[in-house]
Structure 1
Amino acid sequence: MTNYKSPLHEMASTSVTDYWNDSCSIWELEYAIENGAVGATTNPVIVGNVLKKEMHLYKDRILELIQQMPKATEDDIAWKINEEMAGAGAKLLQPIFEQTNGEKGRISIQTNTKYYRDAELMVEQAVRFNQLAPNMMVKMPTTKAGVEAIEEATYQGVNINATVSFTVPQAIAVAEAVERGLARRVKEGKDISNMHPVCTIMVGRIDDWLKIVVDRDDIIIDPKCLEWAGVAVMKNAYKIFNERGYKTKLLAAAYRNHLQWSEFIGGDMIETIPYKWQKRFNGSDVTVVDRIDHPVDPKIIEELSNKIEDFRKAYNPDGMKVEEFDTFGATSKTLLQFLAGYDDLINIIRNLMITVK
C-alpha cells in the first residue's frame, strides 16, 4: 500500500491552486478527477478533436440526431453534440459541485466563435447554455464585443469564463466588466453568492505570438525570455487582481512548457491542463512547491519590454485599450484557429449527414 500522490494531485491537495481538465472527453476527465481536478472546459475545437479520437462513442448518437431533426443544419447538430458533451462532463463533476456548494465542479462551454463581434448574440447563447446544468460556466472571447457581453451575461446570472485572452489589459477589462455586472445584480437585490467568474490567460499562446513577432521583425533576443513571457504576464495580472480584490479568478491555459504549470503553484487560481500535459507533469520530477510569489527575473522582463512592443502591450495594465483587443496579434491568430476548428467540426457532421440513407 502506498500513499503516493501524483504531482498534480499533490498540488490540488496541498495548495489553493485548482486544476481542470482541458477537454470534455469523459475518459480524460475521469483521469483528471482521479488526480485532483475539480473542473473541465470545452469549445467547438475540443469537441471536434474528441470526435476525431472517439467517433466510435458518438457516431450512433449523431446519426440518431440527424434522423430525429430532419430540418436541422450541420450547425444545429454540431451544437446539440457540443451541449450533450458538456452536459455529460457536468454530470461527472456534479458531486464536486455539490460538495463545494457550487464553488468548484463546473464545466465551461463556449459560445460560437463567429459571434465574437456581436455582444447580443453571445449573451443570448450564454443564457441558453447557463440553463443546461446547474454547474455550467460559459466561455466568451475577450474581444471588444465580448467584454460588453461578459458584463451583461454576468448581470443575467451567468458564470462566465473569459477566453481568447492573453494580456493584462484584457484580464483587467474582464474583471471590471464582471464587477459592473455584479453591481447591477446587487442593486436590484439579485443573488450573487453562487457567482464564480473566471478569466483565462492563454499563457502559451502569448509565447507563441511573441515568437512569431521576433521572427517576423528579425529581433535577436535571449531565447529563454520567450519561454517566460506568458508566465510574466500571468504573474503581473495575478498581483493586480489581488491588489484590487476582483471577484474574478484567473485561469492559466495553453501549455507549452512546465513553467506554465509549476510557476503558478500556490496561487489562488486555476490551471486548465490538456491530458497530454497532465501525463507529462505527473511523470515529471518537478517538485510541487509554491512559486506564485517568485518574481520573474527582472532582466527577462526588461529585455522583453525593450525589444518587443507586443510584450509591453500584454504585460502593462494600460498596454492596450479595449478597442485594440480584436486586432492584437494573438487574438487575431487564435480567432482564426478557433474558426477553422469550428469549420472542421461542421465538416465532420456534414459528412455524416450527406451519407445518411
Structure 2
Amino acid sequence: MNRTIELLAQGQSCWMDDLTRRMINSGDLARRVGEEGLRGITSNPAIFEKAVAEGADYDDDIVRAAAAGRSPAGIYEELITSDVRNACDILRPVYEETAGVDGFVSLEVSPHLAHDTEASIEEARRLWTLVDRPNLFIKIPGTPAGVPAVEQLLFEGINVNITLLFSIARYEAVAEAYLRALERRLDAGQPIERIASVASFFLSRIDVLVDRLLRQRIVPDRLPPDPDPRSLLGKVAIANAKLAYQAFSHIRASNRWMALAEKGARVQRMLWASTSTKNPDYPDLMYVEPLIGPMTINTMTRKTIAGFREHGTVQATVTHDVQRARRVMEDLGRLGVSFDLVTAQLENDAVQKFIDPFELAAQAVRHQG
C-alpha cells in the first residue's frame, strides 16, 4: 500500500504546500487525492511566483486583468483565489467523506497584516466570502496580534489555519483562542460541529537557527562542555514538537475540552509544517517519521512525499521519547541558549519570509502583464 495512505491508519493526514494551476489543470491534484491519499493542500506565494515566471498557465488571465486596469496585487488575488476555489472543489469529496475533518485548502491573508488584528479580520472575512467554499482554511499567523483575530474569525464560523507557530506558549495561546471561540458560539446559540482549525507548528527553521547557536559553542581542540553542544545538533525541533504534542494531549484530556466535544466540537489538530530537511547532512525524513500519530497533519513538499513513499517507515512515534525531548530542551538551556529568544526571532523572521514571496508574486504578475 502507498505509505501516505498508511499514515491515515495512524491518525495522520498528508497535505501538500504546492498548489499551482498546472497541478489543477493537468489532473495531478485529483490523481494525488484519489490515488495517493492526499488530504489537503495550501497555496504558497513562492510557488505561485515561480509558476508565473516559468510557465504560461496564467499569462492570458494576467493580460486580460491588466487590460481591465487591475493592480498587480488585485490580479494576484484574483488568480490565487480562483486556484484555491478550484482546488476546494477537487478536495470537496474528501471533505464530505470525512465529515469535514479533511479535504481543506488554505489561503493566507496578506503577511503585511501579521501585526494588525482588525485588518487581518477584515481581510479574512473578505477572502472567505470571495472563495465561498466550506472547505477553505484562512491562514492567520499566530503572532500576538493574530491570536485575537483567530478567536474572532472562528467565532464567526470562518475556518482558520494558524501558521508560524514555533513555541509551545504560542501554541497554547491559539489553542485557548479556539476553545474560547467555541464557547462563545455556544453561548450565542450557534452550532460548533463544522468549525475547523489547525495549529501549524514549524520545524526545520528551528534547527537551522539553533544549530548555528550550538556550533558557536563548539571549541576546537578542547574537551566539550557538559552537555556537549554537538549532541543537540538537529535534535531541538523534534523535541519541541513532541512536547507541543504533549500540551495538545493535555488540552484534549481537560474537562473544558470534553464539555465542548460532547456538543460536537472538532479537535484543533496539530499540523507539522516546514518539514523538508534544510541541512543536506540530515536524513530527508527527519521531520516526518518521528512525528506520526493521532490527530496530526504533515504538510510535505513533493520531494519529501516522494522520499516517504520510497523509504519511509509508518508507525506511531509522536509520543515516543518524550523524556528525552525534555532533556534536550533542558540541555539547550544549560548551554546558555534561550529558546524563548530563539522562537521570538524565528517568528519575526518568518513574517518577513512570508512578505518577501508575497511581494515577488505581485511583481511576477506585473512583469507578465
In the superposition, the TM-score normalised over structure 2's length comes to 0.84
1:303 alignment counterpart: 331
Q: What are the within-5 Å matches in structure 2 for residues 1-357 of structure 1?
A: 5-12=1-8, 14-25=9-20, 26=23, 29-30=29-30, 32-33=32-33, 34-53=35-54, 55-67=55-67, 69-70=68-69, 72-131=70-129, 132=131, 133-215=133-215, 218-220=216-218, 221-223=228-230, 225-245=232-252, 247-255=267-275, 256=277, 257-284=284-311, 286-296=312-322, 297-298=324-325, 299-311=327-339, 328-353=344-369
Distance of aligned partners of 1:308 and 1:349 in 2 relative to their CA distance in 1, 3 Å threshold = farther
Partners of 1:87 and 1:73 in 2: CA distance: 21
Aligned-partner SS, 1:19:
strand
Distance 2:95 2:78 in 1: 24
Q: Mean alpha-carbon deviation: is it higher for 120-129 or for 219-228? A: 219-228
Kindly tell me: are residues 249 and 78 of structure 1, through their superposed partners in 2, closer, same or farther at Cα, counting changes over 3 Å? same
Q: Is the 8 A contact 1:20 1:272 kept in 2?
A: yes
Would you say how many aligned residue pairs link Structure 1 and Structure 2?
Answer: 330
> Is the 2:200–2:272 Cα contact (8 Å) retained in structure 1?
yes
How has the CA–CA distance of structure 1 residues 52 and 274 changed in structure 2, closer, same or farther, with 3 Å as cutoff? Answer: farther
Please say if residues 127 and 156 of structure 1, whose CA atoms lie closer than 8 Å, have aligned partners that are also in contact. no
Flag the 1:28–1:123 CA change in 2: closer, same or farther, 3 A.
farther
User: What displacement does 1:86 show?
Assistant: 1.1
Q: What is the CA-CA distance between 1:91 and the residue it aligns to?
A: 1.4
Residue 115 of structure 2: SS of its match in structure 1? coil
Q: Quick one: percent identity of the two aligned structures? A: 25
CA–CA separation in structure 2 for the residues paired with 1:312 and 1:95: 42
Question: How big is the shift at 1:308?
Answer: 4.9
Gaps of 5+ in 1: 315-324
CA contact 1:44–1:110 (8 Å) conserved in 2: no
How far did residue 352 of structure 1 move? 1.9
After the TM superposition, which segments of 4 or more aligned residues of structure 1 sit over 3 Å from their partners?
27-32, 212-215, 221-224, 298-302
SS at structure 1 position matched to 2:201 = strand
Determine if contact 1:21/1:29 at 8 Å carries over to the other structure: no
Change in CA separation of 1:310 and 1:162 when aligned onto 2, cut-off 3 Å: farther
How far 1:223 moved relative to its partner?
4.0
TM superposition shift of 1:119: 0.8
SS at match of 1:191: coil
State whether residues 21 and 28 of structure 1, in contact with CA within 8 Å, keep that contact through their aligned partners in structure 2. no
Change (3 A) 1:46 1:114: same
